[in-house]
Structure 1
């Protein structure tokens, strides 16, 4: 179970997002990070049971840093106000589809797939869907999948992507900018025993999408 102290720390950080406060409360951060890292270690074992592609991963391979890169941002707050981990073959920087756990007070969610894929990856995914639209539609319109993830994430192109015919019958499947999904989880569930089961059910439903995407990525 995820420790409630993690949400408490993140709420305090949201209200005091500056280096002085963070330095004074560095021990709280380290304890919260350690708790989240342990939870991700357990989640990896959980996911590995139905997706062996992530075998060999450790939590440290999947966790995102809490420090924000503010060099080119108007928002100069130095810290993220969430803990996030992307469980995927080769870890958080991987091009492979995976499973994402996001912990942020009032904005916790589970998600996965390929978010912001590189241009060559995106083109390869679209090409594969172009040749096998029924297979892909069968995955994202499966009743178990849709019970957890109602729609693909993000905005879509308004016209056909370059290189694909505008009159393609399944053009709606090619217009996504991300091949990723997400679902919100309330804070009460996140700090309960129910969250482990929620992860299991949601990510089992997500696994066919990741399998489809990863068969493409591995051939690049």
Structure 2
């Protein structure tokens, strides 16, 4: 995968974020996109080898559209400044994906649940209530803390959620509406020959975190 071409395309796109420019340079977009899909499929195969519960995801389905949704966000640019893709997806939606975000302003790997629907958040809270010690053991593992930042959506409750005591031993986790982590990437790291292996390493470090959450919403 030629990530240098991807970054060059994204930088040019952000300088010329309009349909006319995209139409004239669509061949560049397709070249980068198709190369990235091939890379995603290679990563998909590697992740299958390290996780027995991994759900194979075709790169074309994993890749998000580069167009912004202007219906709900009319003030955004027409096109995104990044390529985003979600692997390890199931049809029911009851599974947090392994998300890959490569862009001109920021790049990162992430996983977990960003503002999940009420039924999913309720299930996660029930799991924390039942066995929050296991989750905290995952969160407090040194290698995990060294690898990830907890994503803060800024919407944690100030009081206990309904049905839980204010002095619950895991009240800090129960108040959260988002349970997700991210691992920042530099352009230099992405363009290294072993970048795909780095993604596998991060995935493996994230597995206990995602396993806990995915089990919580499916059991």
Q: TM (normalized to structure 2)?
A: 0.92
The 8 Å contact of residues 99 and 112 in structure 1, kept in 2 or not, is answered as yes
1:1-220 alignment runs, 5 A limit:
1-90=1-90, 94-155=93-154, 156-219=156-219
**SS of equivalent residue, structure 1 residue 109:** strand
Partners of 2:157 and 2:39 lie apart in 1 by 37
Shift of 1:193: 1.5
Q: More displaced, 81-90 or 144-153?
A: 144-153
Deviation digits for residues 101-155 of structure 1, max 9, x if unmatched?
1010130111111222111001110111111011010011112211211434433
Q: Is the 8 A contact 1:63 1:85 kept in 2?
A: yes
* Residues 34 and 175 of structure 1, relative CA distance in 2, 3 Å threshold: same
Q: Distance in 2 between matches of 1:62 and 1:124?
A: 26
**Distance (whole Å) between structure 2 residues aligned to residue 116 and residue 193 of structure 1:** 34
Superposed CA deviations along residues 13-52 of structure 1, whole A, max 9, x for unmatched, are 1111111111111101101111111111111112112223
How far off is 1:157 after superposition? 2.3
The more displaced of 35-44 and 192-201 is 192-201
Runs of at least 4 residues of structure 1 off by over 3 A?
none
**Aligned partners of 2:200 and 2:76: how far apart in 1?**
37
For the residue of structure 2 that corresponds to 1:183, the secondary structure is: strand
Q: Secondary structure at the match of 2:50?
A: coil
State the 1:2 CA deviation.
4.5
Provide, for residues 85-108 of structure 1, a one-character-per-residue CA deviation record: whole Å limited to 9, x for no partner.
Answer: 1112327x8330221110101301
Q: Aligned partners of 2:207 and 2:41: how far apart in 1?
A: 19
CA contact (8 A) 2:45 2:56 kept: no
Q: Is 136-145 or 54-63 further displaced after alignment?
A: 54-63
When normalised by structure 1's length, the TM-score is 0.92
Q: Greater shift after overlay, 149-158 or 1-10? A: 149-158
The CA RMSD measured in Å over matched residues stands at: 1.7
